[in-house]
């Protein structure tokens, strides 16, 4: 047989199959409960839950004393995200560092994305890679539920512990 007959048959088959699929039109409608369930699986929270949780969190994280080292975020500047404290003239030995200086206080403001928060954590030395932390927080589904406020985090804290501290728990 000739090639043109094969191509003609193939073209008619594709057109016929496409027409059948278009006419069958499978469109499942999701109910409100199904949408809420799927949203919770993705890490989203309802507005009423978020407001209640935020009030509880703010009460829990009220600082008992002013931290010695504070980082201020300048939202208007592109780089750097933080303004570090001036460097001491003589660096203390690692064994002489008091427990208070092994912690870093960061401020997360409203509107900061997981990418910006990851960069802030990297610049303060709390995570080894901003990109790795951002990918991880997205993978665990917590990139959309980051809280705002001041957080004191110990150096060497795991990714999971940092995520538990800076995000809303479900």
Q: Does residue 17 form part of some domain?
A: no
- Count how many Cα atoms sit within 13 Å of the Cα of residue 67 in the half-sphere of its side chain: 22
At 39 the three-state DSSP class reads helix
Please state the φ and ψ torsions of residue 139, each to the nearest 5 degrees.
Answer: -60, -35
For residue 125, being part of any structural domain is answered with yes
Q: Is residue 133 over pLDDT 90?
A: yes
Confidence of residue 136 (pLDDT cuts 50, 70, 90): very high
Tens of pLDDT, residue by residue over 95-110, are 555 554 588 899 999 8
Range of the domain at 142: 61-85+98-170
On whether residue 168 sits in a domain, the answer given is yes
Instruction: Give how many domains the chain has, as a whole number.
Output: 1
With 80 as the cut, is the pLDDT of residue 78 above it?
no
State pTM to two decimals.
0.42
Spatial distance between the Cα atoms of 54 and 62, rounded to a whole number of angstroms: 12
| Phi, psi of 108, deg, nearest 5 | -105, 120
| Structure-block tokens of residue 135 | 């990918």
Residue 169, domain CATH: 3.30.1490.480
Nearest to 140 by CA among 38, 39, 43: 43
> DSSP 3-state assignment of 146?
strand
């Amino acid at each position: 047989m000739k090639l043109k007959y094969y191509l003609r048959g193939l073209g008619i088959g594709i057109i016929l199959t496409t027409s059948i699929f278009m006419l069958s039109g499978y469109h499942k409608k999701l109910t409100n409960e199904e949408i809420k369930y799927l949203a919770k699986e993705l890490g989203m929270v309802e507005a009423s839950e978020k407001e209640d949780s935020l009030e509880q969190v703010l009460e829990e994280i009220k600082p008992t004393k002013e931290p010695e080292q504070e980082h201020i975020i300048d939202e208007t500047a592109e780089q750097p995200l933080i303004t570090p404290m001036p460097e001491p003239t003589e660096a203390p030995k690692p064994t002489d560092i008091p427990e208070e200086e092994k912690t870093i206080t960061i401020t997360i403001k409203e509107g900061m994305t997981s990418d910006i928060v990851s960069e802030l954590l990297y610049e303060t030395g709390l995570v080894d890679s901003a990109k790795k932390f951002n990918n991880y927080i997205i993978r665990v589904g917590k990139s959309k539920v980051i809280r705002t406020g001041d957080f004191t985090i110990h150096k060497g804290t795991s990714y999971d512990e940092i995520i538990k501290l800076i995000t809303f728990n479900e």
